[in-house]
Chains A and B, each alone.
Chain A
Amino acid sequence: GDSVTQMEGPVTLSEEAFLTINCTYTATGYPSLFWYVQYPGEGLQLLLKATKADDKGSNKGFEATYRKETTSFHLEKGSVQVSDSAVYFCALFSGGYQKVTFGTGTKLQVIP
C-alpha cells in the first residue's frame, strides 16, 4: 500500500537558518504530493503541492521538488522565521478512493 515517511522531529533551528524536512514515499502509479502545515491549536493548511515528476511546488518561501527517481519530496526554506514554528505533514494522493496518505508529521521549532 501507499506510505509516506518523514524525518523524525522535533527539528530546532535558529531564526534565518536553512530548513530541510525530508519526505520519501511509496506508491503505485504516479501520485500527487503535498505538504501541509499545522500551527498550534489549528487544523492542517495546504502549504504546497506538485502533481508530476520534476514539478516544484512553492509557497511562502517554502519549496519542494517532486523527485520520481528518489521517490522524495523534501521541504526546504532558505531562511526560517519564528512564525514558521509548526508541525509539517508530507502527504500523497494516488487516486482510487480519493484518500490522501499522510506522514506522521515533523515538528519544527524556530528560536530567536
Chain B
Amino acid sequence: IAGITQAPTSQILAAGRRMTLRCTQDMRHNAMYWYRQDLGLGLRLIHYSNTAGTTGKGEVPDGYSVSRANTDDFPLTLASAVPSQTSVYFCASSVRSGTTDTQYFGPGTRLTVL
C-alpha cells in the first residue's frame, strides 16, 4: 500500500513558468488537501476537496488552482510561478471515523522559484 504519492520530489522553476504538482492516493479517501509549509508559519491550507468533482479555497489560495476529476488524484497548478511560492508542498487525504477526520500526508514536494 503506497498511501499518498507526490511528484516531483523537488523542482527548481523559473518565475513565470507554469507548474503542476501531482498527488495520488490509493486509500479511497473522499477528502484531499494541499498545504504549503514555510519556516515559522507551520502548515497553511491552500485548497481542499471534500469529494471528487468539488473543490474549495483554503487560507492561501491565490496563485494556485486545483482540480478533482476522480477520487485518487488531486493536482495543484501554479499558473505563473513567483518567488514567494518557494516552499515545501504537502498533499494530504482524510478519512472520517465517527465525528473525527484524520489526515494522512504525502512525502512533500520541495519547490524553488527563481
Binding site for B on A (CB under 8 A): 32, 34, 36, 42-46, 49, 51, 89, 93, 95, 97-100, 102-105
In the complex, which residues 48-88 of chain B have their Cβ closer than 8 Å to any Cβ of chain A? 48, 50, 56, 58
Judge whether A97 and B102 touch: CB under 8 Å. no
Cβ-closest chain B residue relative to A4: B42
Contact of A44 among B90, B94, B98 (CB under 8 A): B90
* Residues of chain A contacted by B41 (CB below 8 angstroms): 104
A51, A98, A104: the one within 8 Å of B94 (CB): A98
Mind listing 12 A-B residue pairs with CB under 8 Å?
A: A43-B107, A49-B100, A51-B100, A89-B42, A98-B48, A98-B94, A99-B48, A100-B94, A100-B103, A102-B42, A103-B42, A105-B42
Q: Name the B residues within 8 Å of A100 (CB-CB).
A: 94, 101, 103
Whole-angstrom CA separation of A68 from B66 in the bound complex:
37
Residues of chain B contacted by A89 (CB below 8 angstroms)? 42-43
- For A99, give its contact among B58, B96, B98, B104 (CB under 8 Å): B58
Q: Which residues of A contact B90 (CB under 8 A)?
A: 43-44
What distance in Å separates the Cβ of B108 from its nearest Cβ neighbour in chain A? 5
Chain B residues in 8 Å Cβ range of A46 = 102-104
In the complex, which residues of chain B have a beta carbon less than 8 angstroms from the beta carbon of A43? 4, 90, 105-108
B50, A93: Cβ atoms under 8 Å?
no
Residue of A nearest to B107 (CB): A43
- In the complex, A44 Cα to B106 Cα: how many Å? 8
Instruction: Supply 4 further A-B pairs (C-beta < 8 A) apart from A43-B105, A98-B96, A104-B40.
Output: A32-B101, A43-B106, A100-B101, A104-B41
Which residues of chain A have C-beta atoms less than 8 A from B104's C-beta?
A: 46
- CA separation between A105 and B103, bound complex, in Å? 16
